[in-house]
């Protein structure tokens, strides 16, 4: 779906007037869509000559496409409300603009706040984050730069936050892979006592004091997710 803002000129005898219209289309060519709209603006229009840039209606009225501009859905809805008089809002925040601003030559979001405030969000010049400027009624009231590095989660936090594994997955891993001292030493043929076997076990396993269990550091039997959980638990063993 494309959203268009069309301007057309109408000549009706000596009277000339301009119309501004919002229009939606699925056509790929917005010029074609706009001309088709103009051709049916006053009924069924026709061109007397191929060179004409206007359409005739009833042999006495002409309509000519002046401009056609593709706009965003947000701009379409905003302009539709303005044209229809539905502009009153009880919301404290009102999005005034979102997208490229020709005046500032940048992509920005402008939000009107309350009666006197205006908030602008735009990317910094080096594209390392974004800037928040807050204006009062007359001038700049506050500004803040937010850097991407400051809001980027570290590896462990990002892994947890993305939902790739949650606490339930960790519990399942601990239950599946943990081995008590007697069990693991019996399986490996090591002496049962900690003093005799711990140094040998620590080469390939890590021990969780809270659970009194050993876990493989790396295992060919691990899934990719289980290996990540094992790394996470080993680095945060005091929590388990």
Q: Count the Cβ atoms, other than its own, within 10 Å of residue 152.
A: 9
Contact 38, 45 (CB under 8 A): yes
Greatest distance between any 2 Cα atoms in the chain: 109
DSSP string, 23-52: EEE--S-HHHHHHHHHHTTTSS-B-SSTT-
**How would you class 68 by CB atoms within 10 Å of its CB: exposed for 0-12, middle for 13-18, buried for 19 or more?**
buried
Query: DSSP 3-state assignment of 132?
Result: strand
Residue with the two structure tokens 């006053």: 42
pTM equals 0.38
**How would you class 229 by CB atoms within 10 Å of its CB: exposed for 0-12, middle for 13-18, buried for 19 or more?**
buried
Lowest pLDDT segment from 96-100, 122-126, 154-158, 217-221: 154-158
Q: Report the DSSP beta bridge partners of residue 108.
A: 99, 122
Q: What is the mean pLDDT of the chain?
A: 85
Residue 181 pLDDT level (bands cut at 50, 70, 90): very high
Residue 154 has pLDDT above 60, yes or no: no
**Rounded-to-integer distance, Cα 93 and Cα 81, Å:** 17
Q: Where are the domains of the chain?
A: 2-71, 89-150, 155-239
Q: Rounded to whole angstroms, what are the CA distances from 236 to 133, 152, 165?
A: 40, 20, 15
Mean pLDDT within 164-177: 84
């Amino acid at each position: 779906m494309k959203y268009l803002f069309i301007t057309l000129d109408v000549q009706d005898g000596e009277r000339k007037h301009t119309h501004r219209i919002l229009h939606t289309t699925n056509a790929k060519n917005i010029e074609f869509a706009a001309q088709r709209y103009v051709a049916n603006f006053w009924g069924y229009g026709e061109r007397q000559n191929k060179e004409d840039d206007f359409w005739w209606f009833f042999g006495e009225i002409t309509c000519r496409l002046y401009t056609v501009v593709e706009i965003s859905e947000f701009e379409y809805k905003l302009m539709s409300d303005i044209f229809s008089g539905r502009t009153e809002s009880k919301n404290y925040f009102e999005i005034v603009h979102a997208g490229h601003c020709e005046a500032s030559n940048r992509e920005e979001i402008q939000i009107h706040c309350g009666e006197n405030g205006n908030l602008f969000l735009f990317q910094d010049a080096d594209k390392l984050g974004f800037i928040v400027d807050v204006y009062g009624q007359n001038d700049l009231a506050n500004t803040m730069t937010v850097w991407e590095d400051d809001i980027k989660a570290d590896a462990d936090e990002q892994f947890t936050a993305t939902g790739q594994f949650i606490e339930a997955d960790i519990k399942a891993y601990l239950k599946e892979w943990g081995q008590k001292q007697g069990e693991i030493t019996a399986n490996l043929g090591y002496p049962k006592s900690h003093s005799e076997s711990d140094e040998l076990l620590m080469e390939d396993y890590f021990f969780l004091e809270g659970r009194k269990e050993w876990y493989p550091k790396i295992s060919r039997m691990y899934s990719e997710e289980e290996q990540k959980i094992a790394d996470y638990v080993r680095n945060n063993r005091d929590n388990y």
